[in-house]
Amino acid sequence: MKVRVTVGVLIAALAVYFVLLAGRAVALLRTGEVVGVLLGVGVLILPLLGVWLVYSNLRFGWETEKMARELDADGLLPDVSALPRRPSGRVDRDAADSWFEERRAEVEASPDDWRTWFRLAYAYDVAGDRGRARETMRKAIELHAASR
């Protein structure tokens, strides 16, 4: 629940910032001068880009959460609690790599199943490769949407 409250507060702060920034953009556009208009257009693009970024990240989170609930209901949610851990709490690298290879084999055996892609994305995350985890989760989201 704390995460949702934090996200809500951050979105509210961003909304205020975007409104103020858009106001400045409009003021620049009204100057009628070439430089003012160009700056106004540039400043107006920033809030639009910000809104798109916020929305796309929230949508990613919503879809990931929805898929995790489905996997949990089916008893297929990945569980790494048995994997050995380092003193820092992170999963041991060799264990994470081994677990990752198992998830990759699942995807190779069933490449059109969003569940296997979700589990592979989770394996990337456990291995510490957040970029590939997000990319793989996007593939899982795409397959999940197509399966409905």
Q: What is the pLDDT along the chain (148 residues), one digit of tens a residue?
A: 788 899 889 889 988 988 898 899 999 999 989 999 999 999 888 888 888 998 999 999 999 999 999 999 999 898 888 888 988 888 888 888 889 999 999 999 999 999 999 999 999 998 888 999 999 999 999 999 998 7
- At 145, list the tokens: 């949407």
What is the pLDDT, as a whole number, of residue 70? Answer: 95
CA atoms within 13 A on the CB side of 7: 11
Confidence (pTM): 0.78
Q: What is the pLDDT of residue 97?
A: 87
Q: Tell me, what's the pLDDT at 12?
A: 92
pLDDT of residue 107: 96
Q: What is the pLDDT of residue 80?
A: 86
Distance CA 37, CA 8 (A): 33
Query: For residues 63 and 45, what is the distance between their CA atoms, to the nearest angstrom?
Result: 27
Structure confidence at residue 92 (pLDDT): 87
